[in-house]
Amino acid sequence: MSPSFQLDGRPVPFVPGQTVGAALVASGRTSWRTTRHEGRPRGIFCGIGVCFDCLLTVDGVPDQRACQVLAREQLDVSTPEGENP
Amino acid sequence: MTTGTVRATASGAAPDVVDLVVVGAGPAGLAAAAVAVLGGLSVALVDAGQELGGQFWRHPPHGSAVGDGKDLHHDLRSYRQLTATVRDAARSGRCRSLLGHHVWTAVHPAPGQHVLHLVDRSAGPGRESAVRLEARHVVLATGAYDRPLPFPGWDLPGVYTAGGLQALLKGAGVRAGSRVVVGGTGPFLLPVAAGLAARGASVVVCEANDPRRWAGGAGAALGLPGKLVEGAGYAATLARHRVPVQLRQAVTAAHGTDRVEAVTISRLDRSGAVVAGSGRRLEADAVGTGWGFVPQLDLAVTLGADLVPSWGGDQVVGVDRWQRTSVPGLSAAGEVCGVGGARLALREGQLAAEGVLRDLGRPGVTGDRGVVAVRREVARHRRFAAAMAHAHPVPAGWTGWLEDSTTVCRCEEVCAGQVRRAVADGAVGVRQVKQLTRAGMGWCQGRMCAPAVAALAGPGGPGTEVPERLVATPVPLGVLARGTGRDPIP
Ligand SMILES: Cc1cc2nc3c(=O)[nH]c(=O)nc-3n(C[C@H](O)[C@H](O)[C@H](O)COP(=O)(O)OP(=O)(O)OC[C@H]3O[C@@H](n4cnc5c(N)ncnc54)[C@H](O)[C@@H]3O)c2cc1C
Ligand code: FES
């Protein structure tokens, strides 16, 4: 069985070496937060850490770029609103 | 993390001071670091990424279970040689390879002294630490990022930058969609399309220009067999997978509610305006958009290096024949000096290190005749890059695709109508538009919207105004507070 991390309490499988963002895209998720004003969905855009579209909370630390954080087993990831959009 | 690399500690374990710090481990930085260690210098090679290689040679972290995607890469011989040199030097203590480390600011308090402030993110969120490096010389090889242009629906999830699609594929083995439309301009669209097609996606390429006029003989005349072979490789892959390359067409809208489901592709006239009635709808579950690259200049600007206009119209770091900038002890190489591809970056990195060796009174590694040959190659690649830039301009008429409701600044959610209103109210240039609308004031600090805002704000092409970003990356306050046991800003 492939390893997984938790997103809002649900397992997301990953291949060791993938970022959290890449694993989410691979699992079919394209968005995991909504914008402040218009509530628009956001996920990966630039893929290299410059656009900050892909923010989520990792192990309780807010505003982490999913495309930059390496996936690890036991990682506790949550969408900023704590809900699955 | 790479095995065999020396890891910096939060306490900044010795050696704190090195001869040379190279920022960026792409083709330019790798070449600079390798030549410098071969020349006997003590070197620290820093990259925010998890593995050596930069964008062109993006690899999953060492030991990862993600396949290395050999078939997606070019010139892996150089990559292997350079990384072997760097890793050997790391094992013997002559090179610190600091991956997962982001240089967030730098100062040069005295001639021959540079101080770089790094945040070490290699231990993961919440476990960042501060690292401080001192060096006599610095080579900036920070590369570039995609230049996206907005279009209605470009902020729908499933729309990526072209480089983003490539980064997912090369770095993580992830194909972001099965029906992909790649649009924009420039030769980079082809490797992205070829890679996705090779992984089984059905791909359509929209190239806004018609580079055929140029490609007829100029490429050959410029004498770059490597480039032609690489280009022919993509062409063959695209042909094998029946990937259509539509010339003078662009993705002018993306459709969907929570994610992209389809796009509109339109024919463009010579000015880049949409030919009325030419739009057709195409189903897509991923879109890649890319209009060339913008050099990553933050540290160069912070350190006070003079900028010059490049062949592509962007501001880039000005360098002399040894890649020295206007700041003593600061050199630059690769895309920060003008976007021209991996081979040019590599050769510039080599020249930069040769220059540093000479400045420190050491013999070079490449040899005088070798340096002449490298310079000749650099000159050829710059001519090629200029010709490419000429053949792939951002078409002036693109702003016509924007509806007033189209988001321009993704971070602050500023739409084209707001920017247009600010301009109608008298705002001149990016700075005033920013003050009035907040476009460019969000998390990305304008990296994604600046070209668009500049175009909407009036005269001056994309990238003519270079913003000053004193902090190259957001740094956790705890890192500043914990510090390194020394004042982080001397
Ligand atoms: C997302 C993306 C994907 C690309 N993929 C390809 C491709 O597949 N094929 C192709 O021909 N061209 C590609 N390119 C074009 C590419 O820019 C060049 O081909 C080549 O990689 C340039 O080499 P370089 O050494 O100048 O910079 P890069 O390879 O971009 O390397 C720069 C490095 O500097 C690091 N860096 C930047 N700022 C800091 C900082 N403050 N602190 C620490 N590290 C920092 C970055 O993490 C990066 O690894 C891509 C560009 C982008 C943006
Ligand atoms: S996708 Fe742009 S920062 Fe992560």
Q: CA distances (Å), B246 to each of B204, B286, B396, in order?
A: 8, 17, 19
C-alpha distance from A81 to closest chain B C-alpha (Å): 16
Contacting B with CB below 8 Å, chain A residues are 15-19, 22-23, 25-26, 30-31, 35-38, 40-53, 55, 58-61, 63-64, 67-70, 72, 75, 85
Q: Note whether A45 contacts B164, CB cutoff 8 Å.
A: yes
- What are B7-38's pLDDT values in tens digits? 343 334 444 799 999 999 999 999 999 999 99
Per-residue pLDDT at B488:
25
Cross-strand pairs, B117: B105, B132
- Evaluated on CA atoms B93, B129, B171, B58, the torsion sign reads negative
- For residues B240 and B174, which has the higher predicted lDDT (pLDDT)? B174
Secondary element (H or E) of residue B202: strand B202-207
DSSP characters over B36-70: HHHTT--EEEEESSSSTTTTTT--PPTT-SS---G
Q: Which among B7, B4, B3 has a CA at the least distance from the CA of B100?
A: B7
Ligand 1 site, residue B243, Cβ cutoff 6 A: no
Q: Note whether A44 contacts B411, CB cutoff 8 Å.
A: no
Lining ligand 2 with CB less than 6 A are A 21, 44-47, 49-54, 65, 67
Query: Which chain B residues are within 8 Å of A61, Cβ to Cβ?
Result: 125-126
Q: Note whether B174 contacts A22, CB cutoff 8 Å.
A: yes
* Residue B490 binned pLDDT confidence (cut-offs 50, 70, 90): very low
Rounded average pLDDT over A36-62: 96
Secondary element (H or E) of residue B287: strand B286-291
Rounded average pLDDT over B444-465: 78
Tokens coding B417: 């109508």
At what angle are helices B27-38 and B76-91 packed, to 10 degrees?
Answer: 50
Q: Report the atom number in ligand 2 closest to the C-alpha of A67.
A: 4
Cross-strand pairs, B20: B43, B137
Query: Which chain A residues are within 8 Å of B157, Cβ to Cβ?
Result: 30-31, 41-43
Q: Note whether A59 contacts B124, CB cutoff 8 Å.
A: yes
Q: Note whether B66 contacts A18, CB cutoff 8 Å.
A: yes
Rounded average pLDDT over B265-282: 95
Per-residue pLDDT at B188:
94
- B211: Cα within 13 Å, side-chain hemisphere: 23
Which residue bears the tokens 């993390």? B1
Nearest-Cα residue of chain B relative to residue A67: B168
C-alpha distance from B401 to closest chain A C-alpha (Å): 20
- Please give the distance of CA B273 from its chain centroid, rounded to a whole number: 28
In this structure, which ligand is nearest to the CA of B105? 1
**Nearest CB neighbour to B164, from listed A47, A58, A70:** A47
Tokens coding B288: 């890649």
Among the listed ranges A52-66, B64-78, B111-125, B459-473, which one has the minimum average pLDDT value?
A: B459-473
In CATH, the architecture of A4-78 is Roll (3.10)
ipTM of this complex: 0.96
pTM: 0.93
**Nearest CB neighbour to A61, from listed B63, B126, B410:** B126
Nearest-Cα residue of chain B relative to residue A53: B411
Q: CB distance from B463 to chain A under 8 Å?
A: no
Q: CB distance from B168 to chain A under 8 Å?
A: yes
Q: Report the atom number in ligand 2 closest to the C-alpha of A66.
A: 4
Q: Note whether A61 contacts B125, CB cutoff 8 Å.
A: yes
Per-residue pLDDT at B460:
46
Q: Is the pLDDT of residue B148 over 90?
A: yes
What is the 3 state secondary structure string of A28-77? CCCCCEECCCCCCEECCCCCCCCCCCCEEEECCEEEEECCCCECCCCCEE
C-alpha distance from B319 to closest chain A C-alpha (Å): 25
Nearest-Cα residue of chain B relative to residue A76: B125
Q: Is the pLDDT of residue B321 over 70?
A: yes
- What are B108-123's pLDDT values in tens digits? 898 889 999 999 999 9
C-alpha distance from A65 to closest chain B C-alpha (Å): 10
From chain B residues 361-390, the ones with a CB under 8 A of any chain A CB are none
* Residue B430 binned pLDDT confidence (cut-offs 50, 70, 90): confident
Q: Report the atom number in ligand 2 closest to the C-alpha of A45.
A: 1
Per-residue pLDDT at B16:
72
Percentage of residues of chain B with pLDDT beyond 90? 75
Query: Which chain B residues are within 8 Å of A85, Cβ to Cβ?
Result: 258
Rounded average pLDDT over B191-204: 96
Q: Is B384 helix (H, G, I), strand (E, B) or coil?
A: helix
